[in-house]
Amino acid sequence: MMWWYGPGMNGWGFGLMTVSMVLFWALIIVGIVALIRWMGRSGQAPTSRPTAEQLLDERFARGEIDDEEYRHRRDLMSRGSARTG
């Protein structure tokens, strides 16, 4: 069979077909990986629970407790951690 004769595919056609097929499958694989990574996310970054001191600081900053109660609770926490630590 004569490959260079007639309206058939020549060397450039085979090369273009090969490149387009590799790009097609690469796009499919990248899409699947992106979909799996997107579905694997929980929606939020994992965060650790705030400590008692952080909660107390937040309550004081919001004005839920006054200065006297803040200092009293801080002293209790520092004495408690000194006893257990």
In a domain, 11, yes or no: no
Alpha helices in 1-85 (DSSP H): 11-40, 52-62, 67-84
With a pLDDT cut of 70, the percent of the chain lying above it is 76
In a domain, 57, yes or no: yes
| pTM of the complete model | 0.41
Average pLDDT over residues 32-59: 84
3-state secondary structure of 23: helix
The torsion defined by the Cα of 19, 22, 25 and 31, in degrees rounded to 10, comes to -80
Which domain, by its residues, includes 72?
Answer: 52-84
Total of domains in the chain = 1
**pLDDT band for position 7 (cuts 50, 70, 90):** low
Q: What is the pLDDT of residues 16-43, one digit of tens each?
A: 889 999 999 999 999 999 999 888 876 6
